[in-house]
Structure 1
C-alpha cells in the first residue's frame, strides 16, 4: 500500500469515526426523546380511559334518574286518568297541577294537537330529567374512549420508532469495528439512511410535553 493510499485510508477512517460518533450521539438523544413521548402518551391514554369510565358511570346514574322520573310521571298520569274516569274533576285538577315540568310540556302539546298519540309519553317534547345528561355523558364517554385508543396508538408509534433508532445504533456500532473499509462505510451509510427515515417519520408524530 502506497503512502498516498495509507493517508487516504486514514482520512476516511477519521471521517467515518467522526460521523459515527455524531450519529451515535444524535440517535441516543432521539431514542431518549421517543421513550419520553411514549411514556407521556401512555399517561394520556390512562387519563382518557379513566375519564371515559367516569363519564360512563355518570351516564348510567343520569339514565337511572331518567327512568325514575319516567316512572314517577307514569304513576301521576295513571292517577290523573283514574280521577278523570271517575268524573272527579277536582281531584284531576289537583293531580294535573303536580305534573312535573317535563311531563307538563309534553301533556300540553299532546292536548293542543288533539291527543293523536296514545299518551303524552310518546311526544318528542317529553324528555324526563336526566335523559339529556345521559346522552351527553355517553357521547363524552365514547369520545374519551376513542381518544384513549388514539393516544395508545401514538405511544406505540413512538415505541416502534425507538426500535428503529436502536437499529441505527447497532449499524453505527458495527461500522466502527475493524472491518473491510467498504463494509464499514456501507454499514455507516445504511445507518445514516435509516436515521434520516426515522427523523422524517418522527416529524409527523404529535408531541406531548
Structure 2
C-alpha cells in the first residue's frame, strides 16, 4: 500500500504539470495574438515597405547614373560633330576662295580682250564652278538683270558645305539629346531622394512610441512610396 505522503506528491506533481502545460499554451496564444494586433500589422507593413523601397532607391540611383553617362556621351558626340562641321566648312571656304580667284582672272582676261587666256581658264574651271559658269552665261552673264556671278547660281554647290550643314544638324540633334538625358538623370536623382524620404519615415514610424504618431509617419511614407512608384513607371528606363 502507498502512503498518503506519496499520493500527495503525485497530486502535487500533477498540478504542477497542469500549470506548466497551461502556461506554454498561454505563451503560444499570446504570440499569435501579438501578431494579430495593430502593432504587429504595422511592423509587417513597415518591413515590407522598407525592403521594397531600398530596392527602388538603388534602382533609381542606377538609372540616374546611366542617364548621366548617356548625357556625357551625347555631349561628347555633339562636340566632335561640331568640330567635323567646322572642318568641312573651312575646306569649303578654301575651295570657294580658289574658285573666286580663278573666276576673277577670267573676268580680268575678258576685260582685257585676252580671249585665249579666258578660254584657257574656262577649260580649267573645276566643278561646280564650271557648271555654274555655264549656267551664269546662259542666264545673261554680265548683262543687266542677270545674277551677279556664277557663285549666285543654284548649281554652285560645294559638297564640303553640304557635309558641314549635315554635320551641324547632327551636332544639334546630339546636343538636344544630351539635354534630354540630363533632365532624365535629374528626374531619377529626385526620385532617389523621394525614396530616401520614404525610408526615413518608415524608420521613424518604428521608433516613436505614440500610436497616432506611428500611423501618421507610416501613412506619410506609404503616400510618398506610392507617388514614387507611379513616377517610376512613367520614366524611361536605360539598361
**TM-score calculated relative to the size of structure 2:** 0.81
* 1:26-81 alpha-carbon deviations (Å, 9 max, x no partner): 00000000100000011001100100110111111111001101100011101111
- Contact 2:60–2:189 (CA under 8 A) maintained in structure 1: yes
Q: Deviation at 1:170? A: 0.5
- Contact 1:27–1:169 (CA under 8 A) maintained in structure 2: yes
Counterpart check, 1:132 vs 2:162: yes
Q: Deviation at 1:197? A: 0.6
Mapped to 2, the partners of 1:68 and 1:176 lie a distance apart of 74
Mapped to 2, the partners of 1:183 and 1:58 lie a distance apart of 63
Mapped to 2, the partners of 1:139 and 1:178 lie a distance apart of 59
Mapped to 1, the partners of 2:233 and 2:134 lie a distance apart of 60
Q: Which has the larger radius of gyration?
A: 2
Among candidates 76, 79, 84, match of residue 50 of structure 1: 76
Q: Match for residue 44 of structure 2?
A: 18
Mapped to 1, the partners of 2:194 and 2:172 lie a distance apart of 33
Deviation larger for 182-191 or 56-65:
182-191
Residue pairs, 1:115-126, within 5 angstroms: 115=141, 116-126=146-156
- Contact 1:65–1:129 (CA under 8 A) maintained in structure 2: no
Residue pairs, 1:91-102, within 5 angstroms: 91-102=117-128
SS in 2 for 1:130: helix
Counterpart check, 1:104 vs 2:130: yes
Among candidates 100, 109, 127, match of residue 74 of structure 1: 100
Counterpart check, 1:60 vs 2:86: yes
Deviation larger for 182-191 or 62-71:
182-191
* 1:121-171 alpha-carbon deviations (Å, 9 max, x no partner): 122322234111111111111111111111111101100011110110000
- Contact 1:165–1:195 (CA under 8 A) maintained in structure 2: yes
Q: Unmatched 5+ residue regions in structure 2?
A: 1-32
**TM-score calculated relative to the size of structure 1:** 0.92
Q: Deviation at 1:89? A: 2.3
- Contact 1:69–1:129 (CA under 8 A) maintained in structure 2: no
Q: Match for residue 3 of structure 1?
A: none
Among candidates 185, 188, 207, match of residue 177 of structure 1: 207
- Contact 1:174–1:187 (CA under 8 A) maintained in structure 2: yes
Residue pairs, 1:147-162, within 5 angstroms: 147-162=177-192
Mapped to 1, the partners of 2:236 and 2:47 lie a distance apart of 28
Mapped to 2, the partners of 1:129 and 1:94 lie a distance apart of 25
- Contact 2:75–2:174 (CA under 8 A) maintained in structure 1: yes
Task: Extract structure 1 runs of 4+ deviating beyond 4 A.
Answer: 7-10
Alignment: residue pair count? 204
